Structure 1
Amino acid sequence: MISPNSKPSVAAVILAGGKSSRMGEDKALIPWDGTPLLQKVCKVADECCQQVYILTPWPDRYLSIVKKEYKFLLESNPGQGPLVGLAEGLAQISADWVLLLACDLPLLDPIIIDSWVSHLTQIPSDILALVPRQAELWQPLCGFYRREALPELQNFIQQGGRSFQTWLEQVPVQVIPVSEQCSDMLWNCNTPSDLHH
C-alpha cells in the first residue's frame, strides 16, 4: 500500500495512431485555437504527470510539434485499437500509474486532471483502474491504469478482446464521477462538423 504522504508516479500515454477516418485528416495535427491538438493534449499532460509519452506508428510526423522531453513509443502493431495501445504503453513504462489520453481532447482541464491524480494515493491496491463513467459508458481515453493491470489486459487481448467497455466490466475499477464540467472536458473531436461546432 502507498502511504498517504507519498505521491505515486504517473506517466501520460497519448494515443496518436488512429486512422482519423471520420475526420479525413490526421486529428493530431489539426489546429485548435492555433495549436495542433496533439500539442494541446501534451501540454496538459505535462502539467499533471512526471513524464509524457506519445504512442504512435509514425513519430517523425510529430517531431516538429512536440517538446524534446516528451518520449515517443513506437506502436508495434498499429490499427489494433486503444486497448492494445494501452497494453503497449504499460509494458514499456515503469510508473505506478498510466494516464491514457486520446490526442483529440481539446478541452482537457489540467486542474481537473490534477485533482484526479491527487486522488490516486487513496485508491486501494486491488483497484486496477480509475476511469470516468457517464451515461452507462466508460470514458477510457481519459483514465488511469495501474501497471499491475498489464497481465489481465494481455490475457484479455490474447483471447481476442479489443473492447475497452468489456474489459473494464471485468476488472476492479473505481469510477470517477462526471460533473457537467468534466463532461465538457471529455468531449472529443471526431469529424469536421465537430471541429466547426
Structure 2
Amino acid sequence: MTPPPLPFAAALLAGGRSTRMKQDKALLHWHGQDLWQAQLHKLQSIGAERVLLSCRSEQPLYVSPSEGVEVVHDPEDVDEGPLGAITRCLELVQMPLLVLAVDMPWMTAAFLREHLVPHAEPVTGCFFRGPHGDETLSGLYVPAMLPLMQKALCEKHLALQPIIEAAVHSGLAVTHPLEEAQMPFFHNVNTPHDLKH
C-alpha cells in the first residue's frame, strides 16, 4: 500500500513564448477547454498543498479566487525562461515543487501521482531521462536545489539540464530511465503539426 503523500506544491508553467506554434500554446483548444485549464486541472487533482500558475502578466489566463490557485507572473523586463519561472515558484513555496509544462497535454495525473509526488523522506528532486536527456519540464524540484538554480540565473546560464546533472551529482536529485511506454506522456506540442498528430 502506497503511503500518503508528503506535503508538496505543484506549478503549471504556461508563460512560454510559443514562437514555433505562432500562437499561445496555453490557449490551444484541447478536448473542450483551453490547454492551460486542462493541465491545471491535472495538478489540482493530485493532492498538492499549493497550486501555482506561472505565466506572463499579459496572458488572458484567469482563475477564480475560489480555485485556490496562486498566479506567479514572469518579470516584464527579462526573459529567464523556465529556469526563472521554476526558481520563482520554488522560492515562494519553500517545499518540494512538482512542475508541469503547459505543452505536455498527454501527461496524465495518474503518472504524476505515481512517479513524481513525494511519498518518503528524505525528499530529493526526481526526473526522468529520455533519449534526449533529462525531462526538465515535468519533474520534482526541491528547495535544496535552489542555490544551484539561483547561481545559474545570476550567471545567465538558463539551461536546466546542467542544473539537474549537478543536483544528481550532489545527491540532491535522482533520475530514472524513461520506459518506452512512458515516453508519450512527455511529448511536447510545439507546432500545429504536433497538435494534429
Q: Given the two structures, how large is their TM-score scaled by the length of structure 2?
A: 0.86
**Aligned match of 1:20:** 18
The alpha carbon displacement at 1:60 in A equals 5.8
Local SS of the residue matching 1:156: helix
The alpha carbon displacement at 1:190 in A equals 0.6
Please give the per-residue CA displacement for 1:2-52, whole angstroms capped at 9, x wherever unaligned: xx9673211111111111000000100101122211111111111112321
Give the conservation status (yes or no) of the 8 Å contact 2:148–2:163. Answer: no
Percent identity reads 24
Give the conservation status (yes or no) of the 8 Å contact 2:63–2:69. Answer: no
**Aligned match of 2:74:** 75
Q: RMSD of the TM alignment (CA)?
A: 2.3
Structure 2 alignment gaps of length 5 or more: none
**Aligned match of 2:163:** 167
User: CA, structure 1 residues 83+72, in 2 after alignment: closer, same or farther (shift >3 Å)?
Assistant: same
Query: For this pair of structures, how many residues does the alignment match?
Result: 190
The alpha carbon displacement at 1:156 in A equals 2.0
Local SS of the residue matching 1:121: coil
Q: 1:38 aligns with which of 32, 36, 39?
A: 36
Q: Does 1:131 align with 2:130?
A: no
Local SS of the residue matching 2:97: strand
Alignment of 1:85-124 (within 5 A): 85-94=85-94, 96-118=95-117, 120-122=118-120, 124=122
Return 65-74 or 171-180, whichever deviates more. 65-74
Local SS of the residue matching 2:52: strand
Please give the per-residue CA displacement for 1:74-129, whole angstroms capped at 9, x wherever unaligned: 212552210111111111113x21011111111111111111245x233645x4x2
User: CA, structure 1 residues 60+160, in 2 after alignment: closer, same or farther (shift >3 Å)?
Assistant: closer
Separation of aligned partners in 1, 2:79 and 2:135: 20
Q: Given the two structures, how large is their TM-score scaled by the length of structure 1?
A: 0.86
